Amino acid sequence: MPSIYCDCIEDILWDKVYADAFSFNACVDAWRIQISSNLQLIDCFDHILSQDEQARASRYHQEKDRQRFMLSRIALRFLLAKYTNSEPEKIKSGIGLNKKPFIQNNSTPDLHYNLSHAGDWILIAISNSDVGIDIEKMDEKFSYSEILRHNFSHAEIDFITDGKKPVESFYLLWTRKEALLKATSKGIDNDLPFVPCLDGEHIVDQKIIGSDENFCVSSFKIGDVYVGSIASPKKCQLLRFRDINEFSFPKQASF
């Protein structure tokens, strides 16, 4: 049966982008994008979005939702283009099992990616193996106690309710479950309480997570109110954290 190892990474250094940024070998790259400081990119690069993406953007009633959607797709297109040595507007994405995205016209078949956003941040994970990422903005007013019994094990509920920071503990465990099930393409279902997410190593039935692969799930914070988790197979030895503000874009603008 597969094993799941969960841990926290403290004091992350979000690296500058060096020459080797867009090649990986047993690596997982996590990119962060701050929405509020990059809104100018929407007007500069909205033309690279597909007709479907532009139509989806137009259906958002709230301007902040439209901006978040467009910026996440623009950033994703440029990043995937760099990894695949292609052009952003030529990237064609599709939706696979449990809504997991993939590149339809991919010349690099072992490239996998996943995206998540919350509040003012977007996270994009890119790897040559299955990968899942999740970010949540911790809300002190959220009534999480109402959903504990249906989504967490007894030990996990005790960890949340008995800790010094129960809200933070809740979001920590929630992002781990989300990231892992996004990586395996299983998606959220009735097995959620049995998906392990406490620190340490866990043995789990492959039917619970939808994979016979061994996974690592690493969690981290962005500022004081955001928590993220990234899941990838144990064979991926290195996590690299990148800030897209260090990524050079065409003449119109740069991150």
Give the CATH number, domain containing residue 204: 3.90.470.20
Tell me if 23 is assigned to some domain: yes
Residue 254 reports pLDDT greater than 50: no
The number of domains in the chain is 1
Percent of the chain whose predicted confidence (pLDDT) is above 90: 69
What's the whole-model pTM score?
A: 0.92
Q: What is the pLDDT of residue 100?
A: 73
Tell me if 251 is assigned to some domain: no
Q: What is the pLDDT of residue 18?
A: 63
pLDDT digits (tens, 9 = 90+) for 114-125: 999 999 999 999
Tell me if 253 is assigned to some domain: no
Q: What is the pLDDT of residue 253?
A: 46
93: which 2 tokens? 């994405």
Domain of 102 in residue numbering reads as 3-246
254: which 2 tokens? 């740069």
Tell me if 254 is assigned to some domain: no
Tell me if 105 is assigned to some domain: yes
pLDDT digits (tens, 9 = 90+) for 200-217: 999 999 999 999 999 999
Q: What is the pLDDT of residue 92?
A: 81
Residue 236 reports pLDDT greater than 60: yes
pLDDT digits (tens, 9 = 90+) for 14-69: 887 765 678 777 789 999 999 999 999 999 999 999 999 999 999 999 999 999 99
Mean pLDDT of the residues in the chain: 89
Percent of the chain whose predicted confidence (pLDDT) is above 70: 91
pLDDT digits (tens, 9 = 90+) for 142-182: 999 999 999 999 999 999 999 899 999 999 999 999 999 99
Tell me if 94 is assigned to some domain: yes
Q: What is the pLDDT of residue 226?
A: 98
